[in-house]
Chains A and B, each alone.
Chain A
């Protein structure tokens, strides 16, 4: 096999498994009990692309943006453009009460993430009585995410019971059905950052412009404007980014404040229901 054929074989294998997981989760519950999260970042955008493939061109459930109010203006513009193009059933989850009381990074990264992301999502899941929530997390993003299952049960209080995760083998997955419980489903768990970019390149998926370098800076991971820094880079195209990733040993989320404060922060955030 040539390098290009192998490349396609790997991406096709990842794509097919992700489609399988998406279809499996969808068939286990009623259609109105499903939603997918979309942060406008590359991973959740690739997930939307894969969901459209799974259901032969449409997304038969809502696409949820957890809006902290602190996102970059480019993200809102991209969100509205793509929602229209892909005919998404876009829903906004926003913790208006916390924002009114002045919640922001100034009150601390953990309280802010918890209030504006986790609490906003918790209220949304409760309101729509969701049983399945798709998330685009990957194992290679963070050591804590490397511990996740494809189907991860959450209780009403949203906690991740990481000390007692279900047995998961051979494409057989469990959905939790108890009152207030939902299952986080992670179709992209096997993908690496470079797989995502190779796939974006191969499929020509329109991603947000912030990933491409301008004046020697680009965003490698995108979050709230207040908590996300660009990295030094001259990668101005998808191909440049792939080349850059082939040689870097810097972590992907280097520019993300919530990963930096201390070693255990991601575990704490995730145990409480953070994405």
Chain B
């Protein structure tokens, strides 16, 4: 009865791929996720026997009202890969929960109810997924089992989507006809014969082959970016604690403070309980530095929030004027002159808005804004490379109300 995807030597040790499910309310995100969890035997029998959407919707209120309140996550494994599936609520009022879930994702599945077609929220969710870092997307056209001629309906929705999709720039977008309820189109063994493209799970497998190369990029030529998270002092030695955001670091490497341009030599890399010769992107370590320029004794003075970069690197700099593309999530809109705090992996800095695309960013809007800051934050030249250092959040009244990416000023800025 159950469409079981047999685990062929599943290697549970793989770094998982994070996939978020987005789209309008009631288009079937939680049901699709429940169907995938069930058909990959990822949940125990008691949880699988219930309403498919309830696999993820575990709050009593969610089950009673048949709606997802908050994001949730479940890990599945099949075909030798692990995936974290992230459910996100569709209601406009719950956008901050949707963004929380989406910010953890590498790829997105956008679910569209074929009975209703794409809605405003459909494209907003897709825009958010792209803005905050999803590289690839599946568009799952759901509830096609409700039609006598699913092929025709699928074709016509694909046609409707053609123009709006041109606004987005994912690495890949794949349209798949499905019935989340029946499992049609979810795995290769249950599909409409007229559709020659991949099933949802086949696409996941393809992503798994792509994404880890980006994630596990210890061997790439990326430049070192090491935000100093905290400074620990033990006797006379100072340790700079932090996680490497990009590139790698070696003992004896010449590094520089992005804030002061002062140069240092890496004396020790501590990965307690060992000292190591090199560390790479993603590693939490503590560094001990030696002053490289002056021969005088004494400890390197680098403060928390500073960013250590390769001494020859010129694209990472401290800035007091920032332009960013934002998803605004506060009920009170963002207007020019508003006082806010910006945070990225370096410092937090207070400042104010100087310009906003369209004059105002309301709840759920995506748009550009510029900020003048009272102190430095360190970013990478956005025209060179997408860099995690350029991920910022905006804080107002001590709460994070917005996320976005540092970017170049848009051409139509006036």
Binding site for B on A (CB under 8 A): 1, 3, 6-7, 9-13, 15-17, 19-20, 23-24, 26-27, 52-57, 139-140, 142-144, 146-147, 149, 162-163, 165-172, 174, 177, 190, 192, 194, 198, 246, 249-251, 263-264, 267
Contact B58–A170 (Cβ < 8 Å): no
Contact B58–A144 (Cβ < 8 Å): yes
Among residues 82 to 139 in chain B, which have CB atoms less than 8 Å away from a CB atom of chain A?
Answer: 84, 96-97, 99-100, 103, 132
Contact A149–B272 (Cβ < 8 Å): no
Contact A174–B398 (Cβ < 8 Å): yes
Nearest first, the 10 A-B pairs at minimum CB distance are A143-B58, A7-B13, A169-B103, A19-B284, A16-B284, A167-B96, A146-B72, A27-B230, A172-B393, A170-B391
| Minimum Cβ distance to chain A for residue B289 (Å) | 16
Complex CA gap A57/B271 in Å reads 10
Which residue from chain A places its CB closest to the CB of B345 in the assembled complex? Answer: A171
A23-B241, A167-B401, A267-B59 are known contacts. Are A172 and B284 too (CB-CB below 8 A)? no
Q: Which of A16, A54, A168, A198 touches B283 (beta carbons < 8 Å)?
A: A16
Q: In the complex, what residues of A have CB within 8 A of residue B241's CB?
A: 23, 54
Contact B12–A194 (Cβ < 8 Å): yes
Contact B60–A16 (Cβ < 8 Å): no
Complex CA gap A171/B403 in Å reads 11
Q: Which of A15, A172, A192 touches B75 (beta carbons < 8 Å)?
A: A192
| Minimum Cβ distance to chain A for residue B323 (Å) | 18
Complex CA gap A169/B345 in Å reads 12
Contact B239–A167 (Cβ < 8 Å): no
A-B contact pairs, 27 of them (CB 8 A): A3-B11, A7-B13, A13-B15, A16-B282, A20-B229, A54-B284, A56-B272, A139-B74, A143-B47, A143-B55, A143-B58, A144-B58, A146-B58, A163-B70, A165-B70, A165-B97, A166-B96, A167-B100, A167-B401, A169-B99, A169-B100, A169-B400, A170-B132, A172-B343, A177-B398, A194-B12, A267-B60
Which residue from chain A places its CB closest to the CB of B9 in the assembled complex? Answer: A3
Interface residue SS majority, chain B = mixed
Residue-wise, chain B 283-323 has the 8 Å CB interface mask toward A (1 for contact) of 11010000000000000000010000000000000000000
Residue-wise, chain B 49-86 has the 8 Å CB interface mask toward A (1 for contact) of 00000011011110000000111111100000000100
Q: In the complex, what residues of B have CB within 8 A of residue A54's CB?
A: 241, 284
Among residues 221 to 250 in chain B, which have CB atoms less than 8 Å away from a CB atom of chain A?
Answer: 229-230, 232, 234, 239, 241, 243
| Minimum Cβ distance to chain A for residue B280 (Å) | 10
B142 at the interface (CB under 8 A from A): no
Among residues 310 to 357 in chain B, which have CB atoms less than 8 Å away from a CB atom of chain A?
Answer: 329, 343, 345
A16-B284, A23-B229, A143-B72 are known contacts. Are A263 and B60 too (CB-CB below 8 A)? yes
Q: In the complex, what residues of A have CB within 8 A of residue B413's CB?
A: none
Binding site for A on B (CB under 8 A): 11-16, 41, 43-47, 55-56, 58-61, 69-75, 84, 96-97, 99-100, 103, 132, 216, 229-230, 232, 234, 239, 241, 243, 270-273, 282-284, 286, 304, 329, 343, 345, 388, 391, 393, 398-401, 403
Known contacts A26-B230, A249-B41, A267-B60; 4 further A-B pairs (Cβ under 8 A): A57-B272, A147-B59, A166-B400, A169-B99
A24-B229, A167-B96 are known contacts. Are A6 and B14 too (CB-CB below 8 A)? yes
A174-B399, A174-B400, A249-B44 are known contacts. Are A23 and B284 too (CB-CB below 8 A)? yes
Q: In the complex, what residues of B have CB within 8 A of residue A56's CB?
A: 232, 234, 239, 270, 272, 286
A169-B100, A171-B345 are known contacts. Are A23 and B75 too (CB-CB below 8 A)? no
| Minimum Cβ distance to chain A for residue B246 (Å) | 14
Q: In the complex, what residues of A have CB within 8 A of residue B272's CB?
A: 52-53, 56-57
Contact B12–A246 (Cβ < 8 Å): yes
Which residue from chain B places its CB closest to the CB of A248 in the assembled complex? Answer: B44
Contact B44–A149 (Cβ < 8 Å): no
Q: In the complex, what residues of B have CB within 8 A of residue A251's CB?
A: 44, 46-47
Q: In the complex, what residues of B have CB within 8 A of residue A147's CB?
A: 58-59, 70-72
| Minimum Cβ distance to chain B for residue A76 (Å) | 28
Q: In the complex, what residues of A have CB within 8 A of residue B43's CB?
A: 249
Contact A168–B12 (Cβ < 8 Å): no
Contact A170–B403 (Cβ < 8 Å): yes
Which residue from chain B places its CB closest to the CB of A53 in the assembled complex? Answer: B272
Q: Which of A6, A7, A27 touches B304 (beta carbons < 8 Å)?
A: A27
Contact A167–B329 (Cβ < 8 Å): yes
